[in-house]
Chain A
Amino acid sequence: MNKKAIFFPSTVLAAVMSLVAGSAQAAYELNLKAPVTEIASQIYDLHMLIVYVCLAIFVVVFGFMFYSIYKHRKSVGHKAEQFHEHHTLEIIWTIIPALILAAMAVPATKTIFAMKDTTAADMTVKVTGHQWKWEYDYLDKDVKFISTLATSQDQIQNKAEKGENYLLEVDNPMVVPTGKKVRVLLTATDVIHAWWVPEFGVKQDAIPGFIKEVWFKAEKEGIYRGQCAELCGKDHGFMPIVVEAVSEDKYNEWIDAKKAAATAANAGADKEWTKDDLVANGKVVYEKNCAVCHQVTGAGLPPAFPAITGGKISTGPVADHLALVLNGKNMMPAWKALLNDVEIASVIAYERNALGNSVGDIVQPSAVKAAR
C-alpha cells in the first residue's frame, strides 16, 4: 500500500512527461484501423459518411445556438419575443432528419446483406472460445490447436519491459491464405466470448451451445491483431486473436508443418514414460494452460479456483484426478478436447509430484488414451 502511495505521484509525473513528448508507438490513433477486407472498407466508408453527416448537422444546429447565445441575451439588451409554436418549422425539422436517415439506411442495408452471405466459402475454420484462450479447428484439413496469450506475466505485472505487441501476441496464430473466402464457425464451451479482428470488420459473439457463422477474405498479407470483445471473466483482457494472412504456398507449408508436429506429439503416446520426464514436460503444460486459474504456485484462487497444492483431487486417487482433467467440472474445462494424451499425462504427473505435492504415482499416456 505504502509502496503504491509513493509509486503513484512519481509515475504520474513520468507518465505525463511521456504524454507530452509522445512516444514511438502509433499513438493518438483517431479512427478505425485501415481495412484489409471488402467488408471492412465498406464499414470504414459508412462510418465516415455518418460522421460527416452528423458533423454537418451539428455545426448548423449549434451554429444557431451559439449565435443565439451571443445575440439574444439580456446583457446586450435583447427583449424576449413570446412565440412558442411554428407548425411548418416543426414539420420540416421532423421530416428532414428522417429523410437523411432513410438515405443512410440504404448503403448500410447493402453491407448487412454482404456480411451475412457466408455461401461459396473456400475453407472453413471452427473457432471455439474458452476461458481464456481460443481454439482453432481447420475442419477440412484436420489441423487443430489452441492459441493463448504470449505476453509474459512479468510484463503485465510491470516487472519487465513491455514488448511491441504487448497483450496482442499469441503462441499459435491463426494462419489463412489471402484472397480466399474463409468461413468462420464460432462457438464457446463455457461463457460467451466474442471473436474480433478489426481489420477484417468481423466481430461475432461465440455462444456456448450455438454455432454462428461469419466470413472474411483478407486482401493483403500481414499480421492482424484483435481481442476478445465480450466480458468473459477474469482474464477477458488477456485472450487476443492473431491472424496471419499469407500467400497460398506459405499457407500450405504451414498446414504441413502443423500436421507433422501433431503426429510427432502423438507418437509419444504409445511409449512408456518415466516420472521425471512427465513431470518436466508437465511443468510447461501446466504453466501454459492451468496457471491462469490455479496459479503458477498451485495455490489457486479459492473459492472459485481450488488449490492444487494439497488439493483433494491432486492428492487423492489418480483415477479421479484423470477423470476430472479429462471431463472437467463447473468452471474447469474438459481438457480431453484441448490436450493430447502426453500432455494430459504430463500435467497430472506434475500436479501430483510438484507444486508442493509428492504423491508419487503417475498415469501413462497410453492409459489416458484408453480412458478417453
Chain B
Amino acid sequence: MSTTTATHHDDHAHDSHGHPTGLMRWVKSTNHKDIGTMYLWFSFAMFLFAGAMAMGIRAELFQPGLQFVQPETFNQLTTLHGLIMIFGAIMPAFVGFANWQVPLMIGAPDMAFPRLNNMSFWLLIPAAILLIASIFVPGGAVAGGWTMYPPLSVQGGMSVDMSVFALHILGVSSIVGSINIITTIFNMRAPGMTLMKMPMFVWTWLITAYLLIAAMPVLAGALTMLITDRHFGTHFFNAAGGGDPVLFQHVFWFFGHPEVYIMILPAFGILSTIIPTFARKPLFGYASMVYATAAIAVLSFVVWAHHMFTTGMPVAGQLFFMYSTMLISVPTGVKVFNWLATMWKGSMTFETPMLFSIAVVFLFTIGGFSGLVCAILPVDIQLQDTYYVVAHFHYVLFSGAAMAIMGGVYYWLPKWTGHMYDEKLGKWHFWLTTIAFNVTFFPMHFTGLAGMPRRIPDYSQQFAEFNMISSLGAFALGLSQLLFLYVVIKCIRGGEKATNQVWEGAHGLEWTVASPAPFHTFETPPQVK
C-alpha cells in the first residue's frame, strides 16, 4: 500500500536502522502493520477466488439438470470453496486485524515476536499454492467435502495429500501466530492497562488464540492419521482393519466446533468495538461479555458431536450433546442482548461500519436460532446434511464473520490509510451485500426443510424455484464484492484526510496516534488511567 510507504518516509526519526524498501520491505517485514496489511490482502484475494468457485456452484444449481460441470467437478468446487473460505479468507482476515490492531489497542510498539510474525504470514503462501495447484493434478482437487470424512477421502487422489499438507502448514502458521498474540497481550500492554481494562477486541482475540492452540493440533492429528491410512497401511479409520470411520468425525469435530468459534469470536470483538463508537456509549456489560466469551470458548469443546447426530450414537451420547449444544446458545444470547443494551438510549449514527454491525447482530441471530433448531436432535435428524445446515452456517459465517470483517475494514480503514473511504459507495456496498446475501441464503432454509440434501450437483424439480432465486442472489452478492474492492482501493489512493480521532465516539489508544498510523507507534508506552 503506497500510503504506508509514504508514511514511513515521513517518519525519519526511526529510519536510522534502515528497513528495506520495495519488494524486500514486504518479504522481510517484521512490522506488525505491514504484516497485517499482507494478511488482509491475502485474505481478500482468497475471498474472491473461493467466491468465484461459489459462482460456479450456483451456476450449476441455477436449474435442475447438469449444465456446466459434471458431478466430480462440482464436488471439487464445494470442497475447495469451503476449505479456502475458512482457512484462506476468514481466518487470515482476523489475524490481519489482530496484527494491525492488537499492538495499537494495547499501546505496544509491535508484536512480541516480529520474526515469527513474518513466518506466520509467509507460511500461508505455500499452503495456498498447494491448495490451488491441487486442482491441476490427475484426478482433480479434493472432492470429499471440507470435512474430508474417510473412507471417501481415502479414495481420493494425490490432491488429498496436497490439501492435508496445506492444512498442516496453515496449522503451524496459526499456532505460531497465536503464541505471538498471547505473548504480546500478556507482556506488552501499556502501563495501567489491566486485563479487565483491555478493549473487547483484544479479549476476544486472546481467547481465540487459546482456542487455536488447543484445536489446530487436533486437526493435525486427524489429518495425519488420514495420511497414514492412505499410504502407510494403518487402519485408524478402516473397520476391516479394526478401525472406525466415525473416529475421524469425532476427532475432526473436536477441532471443528471450536474452529467455528475461532471464526466468530474476533467478529464479536469487532462488533463490540464498533457499536459503542456509533452509539456514543460505553459497551454494556463489559465484564459479562468477557465471561460469556470465555464460557463459549470452554463449552465449544464439549458440543462437537452435534455434527454427528445421524451417525447413530448411543442415547446417552445423543442427550449429552443435545443439552450441551442448547446450553452454548445462552452465552451467545447474552452477547446479543449486551449489544442491544449498548445501542439503547445511545446517540446513534449510521456510518457504514455501524450499518454492517447492526446487520450482523440481526442476521447472526437468525443463524443462532437456526443453530438452536439444529441442536434439537430429533429435528436435526431431518435437517442434517440438508440445505438448512448450509443456510445456518452461512448466516453465522457470512453475515456473522465475513460481514463483521467488512464492517471492521470500513471502521479502521481511515486509521490505516489516512483517508476517509467514500461513505456513499460504502453504503451501497452494504445494502447490496445485505440484500443479496438474504436473497441467496434465506430460501435455503426452505429447500432444506423440504428435503434437499447438500453437496448435490442436481436436484428434483420441486426445488427449482428457490434454487434459482438463490443463484440470482449469489451472482449479485459476488458482484457486490467487487465494489468493496473498488472502495478500498479508492480509499488507499486518496480521499478526505482522516483526523486522528476519525470517529466522534471512538475510544482507545489507536485513536491517539496519527492517521495513517505511523510505521512505528508507541515506542514509549502510553500511560493508561
Q: Which residues of A contact B (CB under 8 A)?
A: 4, 7-8, 11-12, 15-16, 19, 22-23, 25-33, 39, 42-43, 46-47, 50-51, 54, 57-58, 61-62, 64-65, 68-69, 72-75, 78-86, 89-90, 93-94, 97-98, 101, 104-105, 108-109, 111-113, 115-116, 155-158, 162, 164-168, 186, 190-192, 194, 196, 198, 201-205, 207-210, 212-214, 226-238, 301, 303-304, 330-331
B245 touches A201 (CB 8 A): no
Distance in Å: Cβ of B389 to nearest Cβ of chain A: 10
B239 touches A84 (CB 8 A): no
Question: Looking at the complex, which one of A4, A28, A33, A214 makes contact with B466 (CB distance below 8 Å)?
Answer: A28
Q: Does more than half of chain A's interface fall in helix, strand or loop, or is it mixed?
A: mixed
Q: B463-475 vs A: 1/0 string, CB under 8 Å?
A: 1111011001000
Among the 9-residue stretches B93-101, B125-133, B203-211, B319-327, the one with 4 or more Cβ atoms under 8 Å from chain A is B319-327
Nearest to A11 among chain B residues (CB) is B63
A23 touches B464 (CB 8 A): yes
B284 touches A84 (CB 8 A): yes
Given contacts A191-B155, A237-B457, contact A72 B345 (CB under 8 A): yes
Collect the chain B residues with CB atoms within 8 Å of residue A235's CB. 71
Collect the chain B residues with CB atoms within 8 Å of residue A112's CB. 315, 318-319, 322, 377-378
Among the 9-residue stretches B143-151, B212-220, B400-408, B418-426, the one with 4 or more Cβ atoms under 8 Å from chain A is B143-151
Nearest to A65 among chain B residues (CB) is B340
A209 touches B239 (CB 8 A): yes
**Distance A43 CA – B373 CA, assembled complex (angstroms):** 11
15 CB contacts below 8 A, A to B, read A50-B376, A80-B280, A89-B341, A93-B337, A94-B330, A97-B333, A112-B322, A112-B378, A167-B458, A204-B312, A205-B310, A205-B311, A208-B240, A209-B238, A210-B239
Collect the chain B residues with CB atoms within 8 Å of residue A111's CB. 378
A82 touches B281 (CB 8 A): yes
Question: Looking at the complex, which one of B64, B65, B315, B459 makes contact with A113 (CB distance below 8 Å)?
Answer: B315
Q: Does B286 make an interface contact (CB < 8 A)?
A: yes
Distance in Å: Cβ of A199 to nearest Cβ of chain B: 9
B62 touches A15 (CB 8 A): yes
Q: Which residues of B contact A (CB under 8 A)?
A: 59, 62-68, 71-72, 75, 138-139, 143-145, 149, 151-152, 155, 157, 238-240, 244-246, 279-288, 310-312, 315, 318-319, 322-323, 326-327, 329-330, 333-334, 336-337, 340-350, 358, 361-362, 365-366, 369, 372-373, 376-379, 381-382, 384-386, 446, 449-451, 453, 455-466, 468-469, 472
B244 touches A210 (CB 8 A): yes
Question: Looking at the complex, which one of B246, B365, B466, B468 makes contact with A15 (CB distance below 8 Å)?
Answer: B468
A108 touches B281 (CB 8 A): no
Distance in Å: Cβ of A303 to nearest Cβ of chain B: 5
**Distance A304 CA – B287 CA, assembled complex (angstroms):** 56
Collect the chain A residues with CB atoms within 8 Å of residue B460's CB. 165-168
B451 touches A47 (CB 8 A): no
Collect the chain A residues with CB atoms within 8 Å of residue B455's CB. 231, 236-237
**Distance A69 CA – B451 CA, assembled complex (angstroms):** 38
Given contacts A28-B466, A31-B449, A46-B379, 18 further A-B contacts (CB under 8 A): A16-B472, A19-B469, A30-B446, A43-B382, A50-B373, A62-B362, A78-B346, A78-B348, A85-B287, A101-B329, A115-B378, A116-B315, A158-B67, A192-B152, A201-B382, A210-B245, A231-B149, A231-B385
Distance in Å: Cβ of A165 to nearest Cβ of chain B: 7
Collect the chain A residues with CB atoms within 8 Å of residue B64's CB. 162, 166-167
Collect the chain B residues with CB atoms within 8 Å of residue A301's CB. 72
Nearest to B158 among chain A residues (CB) is A303
**Distance A11 CA – B65 CA, assembled complex (angstroms):** 13
